[in-house]
Each structure stands twice: as C-alpha cells, then as structure tokens.
Amino acid sequence: MNLDKIREQVDYIDYEILKLLNERMELGLRTKKFKNAIQDKDRETQILEQLKKYAHAYNLIKPDFVEKLFKAIMRESRKNQKPNKKLIGFQGEHGAFGEMAAEYYDQELAAIPCAEFADVFEGVEKGNLELGIVPVENSLGGAITQVNELLIRTDLKVIGAVKLRINHCLLKSPESNYQEIRIVYSHPQALSQCRDFLNRQQLEARSFYDTAGAANMLAKEKPKMAAAIASKFCAELYNLEVIKENIQDHKNNFTRFLILSRREQENSADKCSIIFSTSHKAGTLFAVLKIFAEERINLTRIESLPYRNDPGTYVFFLDFQCDDIHSRVRNILNKVKLKTKMLKYLGCYKEEVF
C-alpha cells in the first residue's frame, strides 16, 4: 500500500468518525425527552468503565486516552441537550433540501432526519420533536399529496414557511471517472426535474427514496459508472465531487416548506392557511371565494384533493395574504365557516424566500 492510499483511507476513517459523532449527538438530543436531568453521572461512569475495558482489546488505544476522549464527547453532548435546544424533524437523510430549509428558518434548531413524512408528523404530535418541516408544493411538480393528506388528518399547526430555490447538482465519488458514468440515482421528482439534461447526456435514471440518500449511497457503496442528483450541500457532507451544478430543466424551481408545531404562533404574520370542504351544490366553492374577493384578500394558493373519508367530496387547501392575525382573519373565517361543511384552520405565519 503506497502513501496516497494510506492517506485516502485515513481521510475516509476521519470522515466516518465525524459522521458517527454527529449521529451520537443526535441520539443524545433525543434522550432529553425521556429524562429530567441532563447529566446522569452514574450512567456516564458506567459507560466510561465499559469503554476502558474494550480498549484493552486494541493495543494502540490506551484506557486513559479513551476516558479523555469520551469525557469530551459527553461534555459536548450535554451542551446540546440544554432545554432551549429545539429539535426539528425533516424527511430524508442529512443533506436533504428539507434540512437546508430548516437551517434557513432557524440556525439554532437541531435538524433530526426522519424516514417518512408521517414520522415527522408523528414526532411532533408525540412531543419527541418540537417542530417539523415538510414540503407542501413544488413550482414544477405541484402539490406533495402525501403531506397534504397528513395535514388533513392531524391537528398540527403551521407556524412558518420557507420557499427554497432548488438547485440540483450531478455528483460523483472521487474515485470514479465522470466520462464512464451511465447511471444516475435520485428521488423520482428530482429525476423528472432534470429529464432534459439526462436525455441529452444519455444517462439512465434510477429512482431512490431521497436525494440525500442517493448521495450517501454513492459515497458508501461507490457503484460503478454511477452518479447522483442532489444538493451541493450533499457534496460537502458526503465528500463527493460536483460534476455540474444547476442541471434542472427550469431555473425557477422552488419548493415551499411548512414549519409544523403543536401550538399556533401569535406573532406577526403575512400568510394564513386553511383547509375546507363544501356541500355537493352548485356555486358553493364560488360562495367561499366570493368572501375573499369582497374583503379584497389576495389568494396565493388553492389546491383540491379527494377526501378519503367521504368519496366524491373534495377538500380544498387555501392560502391567503393577511396582515392581522386576530380580528380580520377571525372575521373572515367566521364567514367561511357558514359556507362550508368542514373548516380547518392551520395557522397564520411568516413566509420567507431563499
């Protein structure tokens, strides 16, 4: 093994250590929901003694070094577990666009990956996460149906929104030759948003559950002749190389994310979201929309979705601009309630564009 190969392996191990440390910190954050005291001396002593015993199996790692190292790790973990550190769940793996949107919303939040959108909602509902962030619509792909259905079924409130510009990058592992790439992995929506680019380059698209997950798989498994479509953030996170940036077919590609909480926010707002359904009579939807027209309220989104609990009935998602959370919105919603079968108030909030 030559020097370059040794250094390459050292770099890879260092990267894996960092990733595992981050995973440990995340698990530490999750434990604060199940214990009153941040510091558990007995538990920490027990862990240290056990680790020092394990160290005897490795002749290059001394027990006193193990103790110093893990005491430092535990100190850092305790800092992260302070009560004011809030957890926000996002769907996907680290590097996902949802995590990026969460960081834009509030850099002080600790972003926790969740396997499915339902896990984000459940985590917030059960109090394991203070907040959740989910994509509700994309400017090219339209509404995210699964998220909209979860908004109907749960009682969570929307306390903020982030409109994030989506820039897709073609990524490869450092070991691969970009001229040999024939297969590209990514989320189906990302693949569809880059269809023209893939066709021009004669690349085969293969679906993966998550853009960041595809990048992580590429870094771990290093499949031959393969690349991934993901964010530039993923390239930094997983030690991948960017072959080309902004490969999406349309440059104005935005995804709108909602911030979820168990409690509604009471600060200033510029947008309000509701869900409603109407009876099967001609003009019922018009009657609702007429209320907003008469109040000179600008609608920013209206989507319809079949209501599973009542076949043949459609549920409408409506966003409108507002400058007063209390009196004016309350007055409008009272009028809307008289014209609908079901009305659900999601919340008034600030929306930011990045």
The whole-number pLDDT of residue 200 equals: 96
Q: Are 220 and 198 in contact (CB under 8 A)?
A: no
Alpha helices by DSSP H, listed for the chain, are 3-31, 41-55, 63-80, 97-105, 117-125, 145-153, 188-193, 195-200, 211-221, 232-237, 284-294, 327-338
| Angle, CA 227 vertex, CA 196 and CA 135 arms, to 5° | 70
Q: Tell me how far apart the alpha carbons of residues 92 and 115 are, in angstroms, rounded to a whole number.
A: 6
Q: Which residue, 104, 94, 111, 108, is CA-closest to 30?
A: 111
The whole-number pLDDT of residue 125 equals: 97
What percentage of the chain reaches a pLDDT higher than 90?
Answer: 61
| Active-site hit among 117, 208, 257, 320 | 257
354 tagged catalytic: no
Q: Tell me how far apart the alpha carbons of residues 269 and 349 are, in angstroms, rounded to a whole number.
A: 4
In the chain, count of helices (H) and strands (E)?
A: 12, 15
255 tagged catalytic: yes
The whole-number pLDDT of residue 5 equals: 77
Side chain identity at residue 169, one-letter code: C
The whole-number pLDDT of residue 35 equals: 57
pLDDT in tens, 103-123: 999 998 999 999 999 999 999
* Whether pLDDT at 319 is above 60: yes
Where does the pLDDT of residue 312 fall: very low under 50, low under 70, confident under 90, or very high at 90 and above? confident
Please provide the CATH number assigned to the domain covering 169-244: 3.40.190.10
For the residues 66-83, what does the mean pLDDT come to?
78
* Whether pLDDT at 102 is above 80: yes
Q: Tell me how far apart the alpha carbons of residues 34 and 24 are, in angstroms, rounded to a whole number.
A: 16
What percentage of the chain reaches a pLDDT higher than 70?
Answer: 96
Where does the pLDDT of residue 308 fall: very low under 50, low under 70, confident under 90, or very high at 90 and above? confident
The whole-number pLDDT of residue 324 equals: 64
Is there a shared CATH topology between the 3-80 domain and the 169-244 domain? no
Please provide the CATH number assigned to the domain covering 87-165+255-353: 3.40.190.10
Where does the pLDDT of residue 329 fall: very low under 50, low under 70, confident under 90, or very high at 90 and above? confident
pLDDT in tens, 130-146: 999 999 999 988 899 99
| Residue predicted with more confidence, 204 or 267 | 204
Domain made up of 3-80: CATH architecture = Up-down Bundle (1.20)
* Whether pLDDT at 38 is above 60: no
* Whether pLDDT at 251 is above 60: yes
* Whether pLDDT at 89 is above 90: yes
Domain spans, the chain: 3-80, 87-165+255-353, 169-244
Where does the pLDDT of residue 25 fall: very low under 50, low under 70, confident under 90, or very high at 90 and above? confident
| Active-site hit among 121, 211, 255, 278 | 255
Q: Tell me how far apart the alpha carbons of residues 173 and 284 are, in angstroms, rounded to a whole number.
A: 56
Q: Pick the range with the lowest mean pLDDT from 129-143, 150-164, 303-317.
A: 303-317
β-pairing, 87-91 with 131-138?
A: parallel
